[in-house]
Amino acid sequence: MSELIGFVGLGNMGSPMSTRLVEAGYRVQAYDPAPAAAERAARAGAVVVGSPADAARDAGVVILMLPDSNVVEQVLTGEGFLTGMADGAIVIDMSSSEPGRTRVLAGRLAEQGVTLVDAPVSGGVSKAITGELAVMVGGEDEPVATVTPVLERFGRIFRAGPVGAGHAVKALNNLMSAAHLLVTSEAMLAGIEFGLDPAAMLAIFNSSSGRSGSTENKWPNFVLPESYNSGFGMRLMLKDMRIAAGLAEQLGLPSRLGERAIELWAQAAEQLPPTADHTEIARWLQDHHDDEGTEA
């Protein structure tokens, strides 16, 4: 495998991930349209280039960390992207993409001699920095084995299944995570209104069956301090929730609780700024309760 890696997408997650590759000794050609992101990558030691095609040029592995399937397809079908990569190159889509579209895209790339592996991650910015992410991998055995040394720089690898499986399980995970955060916030707000100490509640929940990532991480680290800066946007969470519900619908399975959670998250996303962090669902619930009380 070539020691040259292309990296497209240097946002909250892509930036520390590309830095970990540089620190591991890989040569990283990186691209992001945002000047601040590009400058950050350059300071970390990546070679910043002027386009996605430039990032892919001569690379044996190209990593995409992009907002959605639309942008992924736009990048991969851009002029010179696929044709400029090294022979036998592998694209790793680490974005939160749609699993059905990922499988179709993998077939299209295979016709041009390029292999697609999907490997979305979970764990947030802090674990991207420390290399402790959960990496959910979909793909055939041989290409997955080839890129495993790269993926191990990001965290613990979980084989989800064939191509598209990583994106499927990531969306399902985020639907669960979003539902956890919603019901945790409702419970916390009810307890606070009753007069309970929030820190005491969290300590009890985290030693009991109500424990989740929301009680262990999101509420103590981002909601109680009112920082709301986990690094994962509300609209990205909503997108992943809809992918998961859409998958269930395609399979003819019910997603009643998921659909209701999506309705509430969609209301919050509509009323909060476009840049809102997903942890702001807790503040929105409080404000929404206060508004209802005022109207009553």
Active site residues: 170
CA proximity to 51, closest of 118, 112, 6, 113: 6
Give Cα 103 distance to the centre of its chain.
18
Backbone torsions φ then ψ of 161, nearest 5 degrees: 145, -155
Determine the Cα–Cα distance for residues 53 and 11; give it in Å rounded to an integer: 18
Determine the Cα–Cα distance for residues 266 and 282; give it in Å rounded to an integer: 14
Cβ neighbours around 294 below 10 Å, total: 7
Secondary structure E strands in the chain: 4-8, 27-31, 47-48, 61-64, 90-93, 115-118, 121-122, 133-138, 155-161
Residue 27 pairs with which residues in a beta bridge?
4
Asked whether 96 and 115 are in contact (CB, 8 A), the reply is: no
Q: 110 Cβ partners below 8 Å, 6+ apart?
A: 116
Q: 198 Cβ partners below 8 Å, 6+ apart?
A: 188, 191, 192, 219, 224
45 class by beta-carbon count within 10 Å (0-12 exposed, 13-18 middle, 19+ buried): middle
Asked whether 269 and 190 are in contact (CB, 8 A), the reply is: no
